[in-house]
Chains A and B, each alone.
Chain A
């Protein structure tokens, strides 16, 4: 029972990370292209300034929870995917430093270095997280002697489709967040961009869902338990909602896009069950919620921690989002 609960928590933590840091990464990727004036750029950073760091903590929590609940998965997931993970971490390091220090430096050469760093440091994690999960969805070549892949084998068509889907979905998510937090010209431009990105995201989402049928086993669980089809359905509804609300309701469009990302993650995770990291050589070497987990004692301790503290975390995070949901007025940039 606890193993199943922690499997769901595992998926949820990744989903929360993608849905929350996703828009920060999206804005980071948009930064050098979308920000025409210094004012635009400041507004873009101001829109994510109060929240991006806490959003990134979901990733650290996902890592920590994987370690605590599924130590064998933690060990193999990150040692097998050594180089891509390291590249993701370098990207996140560069992103954070460039974002925070962009308006603390004046030298033009340094400014452009940091702006390019913000772009690359946002693109790299978005793309590679997608590639990594695209490969996990397909299964990794694992047998009794270990892992038989490398960085190049990860860049297979389905891995790349998932990677690009993450990039465009985060771009859409970021532009919707930007329209929610801004007004005037930048707001209109953000919406116009979101409309274009929506079509591109739709294309890659369909491509992902269709090709998943051919190259992964993700749908097996859904066909054997049809009520689970609600998960991919919600993903599609979220994406449709994001397109539907772009003009009428900025907050609904953003929340729909968040729902799309959360259920996209769950579509994959639900299809993986009971595995966290499937082997595409022989299922006997897959890492599952049962063969890679911590003891029942540790899972119980961690469950108590989650029950007590996660509601508190969610409460103050909700309060923060409420506090920082106001429209940033042009020329009233405060934090940077």
Chain B
């Protein structure tokens, strides 16, 4: 293993680990804010209890989200110094703006919300949680603007041996960024919804605090249904954008090797990276790939073999991740519609099998968001900035293999300990049920 591979492992592992916590923050923050709004409007105690119960789980998760995020802010410099020098003129700005606009707001008002129950007016308290929910999503916007620039660099010139920004608006309003942003936050909403539905299902199966968890479930199911539909349709638009700006990534997502007009999608497909073709291709749906990628059944789709062979990503992981993501995304739509319907008709307790499915589905959106990032980032390889800079040329020059092995090792030990602690606390407080409010 060399420094590049180890640094990729470290960045990939720490970023994916960070993204276990982020989507729940995005979705659950809004759900807690909705609950507190319901309490503010109706003065019904049950919504206050809900705010506190789900708020506590939100907080435990949030702590892990911040601590795992700090390392990412610095890893561009520590391990990817050549990258930072090359793109810092553009890439640094959204990161600094994210901290200034979003992180301060988020952390300040989380503190206010948590410690302010008796110190500020109920209205200000409600505003605080909405500011937390809003700013965590705002931070997603800025970091995804930065990430989108790595996928689809815009608004720059190459000058002084680096990329220099010439058009800030082009960077901020890049369509790629906004598709990625909306796709990511709605995915986070789905995570939040399944989290609340899963834990509610657990208690409903045990017939504990039935009213409390039926109401929680209904709010989450409604939110989850809308979000599942949105994430799916935005995902479709996002894939079309990928086809447009990163044709090699799209071809890898579909394991599509040879350029074709009216390209089909094979329901069953086994890629073979080494032979640069597919081992198995069965059950084609004619023209579907052309239709989805270019919204035209006769469009020509470029195959992987039409690109220089050093410029294509590893196909199997990207292809598999994409299939899993799309499959799960489709499943979420069915599950949330059913969940919403049963909750609306107050029939949840009659469908214990369904409740069990919802309980065990809790991890599925997590898997979907993780594989989604594999599609996005592994699919971008071998480029760190698509078409501009290769990952191999981006790493810090002074690092030794020993340095990175040491830090990666500590990360693995530390993050494993954190995962155990987090999981223990979340299950403890989730099982315990709602608190007595004072």
Contact = CB atoms under 8 A, between A and B. Distances in A.
A54 B131 CA distance: 14
Interface string A75-88: 11111101101100
Contact of B410 (A59, A64, A82, A90): A90
A100 interface: yes
Interface stretch (B114-122, B186-194, B372-380): B114-122
Contacts of A295: 89, 159-160, 164-165
A74 B63 contact: no
A56 B397 CA distance: 29
Contact of B67 (A65, A79, A92, A305): A92
Interface in A152-193: none
B77 A67 contact: yes
Given A79-B77, A82-B78, A93 B88 contact: no
A295 B99 CA distance: 21
B98 interface: yes
Interface stretch (B105-113, B287-295, B325-333): B105-113
Contact of B92 (A56, A68, A309): A68
Nearest to B82: A75
B114 A68 contact: no
Interface residues of A, number: 64
Contact of A93 (B70, B95, B108, B114): B70
A324 B120 CA distance: 10
Interface in B397-435: 397-399, 403, 406-407, 410, 414, 418, 421, 425, 429
B241 to A, nearest CB: 25
Interface string A263-293: 0000000000000000000000000000000
A323 B119 contact: yes
Contact of B85 (A75, A90, A313): A75
B108 A320 contact: yes
Nearest to B88: A71
Most buried by B among A72, A86, A90, A310: A86
A56 B111 CA distance: 12
Interface stretch (A45-53, A203-211, A221-229): A45-53
Contacts, number: 216
Interface stretch (A33-41, A237-245, A253-261, A296-304): A296-304
Interface size class of B (residues with CB under 8 A): 35 or more
A116 interface: no
Contacts of B114: 49-50, 335
B77 A53 contact: no
Nearest to A67: B92
B51 interface: no
A147 B429 CA distance: 49
**Interface residue SS majority, chain A:** helix
B312 interface: no
B396 A64 contact: no
**Interface residue SS majority, chain B:** helix
A326 B118 CA distance: 12
Nearest to A86: B407
B168 A301 contact: yes
Contacts of B76: 67, 74-75
A4 interface: no
B91 interface: yes
A334 B115 contact: yes
A146 interface: yes
Interface in B50-108: 59-60, 63-64, 66-68, 70-71, 73-74, 76-82, 84-85, 87-93, 95-101, 103-105, 107-108
30 contacts: A49-B114, A51-B111, A57-B103, A60-B70, A60-B73, A60-B99, A61-B96, A64-B73, A64-B95, A65-B96, A67-B76, A67-B92, A68-B88, A68-B93, A71-B89, A74-B92, A78-B74, A78-B77, A82-B396, A82-B398, A97-B67, A97-B421, A104-B425, A104-B429, A295-B159, A302-B97, A309-B100, A320-B108, A323-B119, A334-B118
- Give the 3 A-B residue pairs with the shortest CB-CB distance, closest first: A71-B88, A78-B77, A67-B92
Interface of A: 46, 49-54, 56-57, 59-61, 63-69, 71-72, 74-80, 82-83, 85-86, 89-90, 92-94, 96-97, 100-101, 104-105, 146-147, 294-295, 297-298, 301-302, 305-306, 309-310, 313, 316-317, 320, 323-324, 326, 334-335
Given A56-B70, A97-B421, A298-B92, 20 more contacts: A50-B112, A50-B115, A50-B116, A52-B111, A61-B96, A63-B99, A69-B96, A75-B77, A78-B78, A79-B399, A83-B403, A92-B67, A92-B70, A97-B67, A100-B63, A104-B425, A104-B429, A301-B165, A302-B93, A305-B101
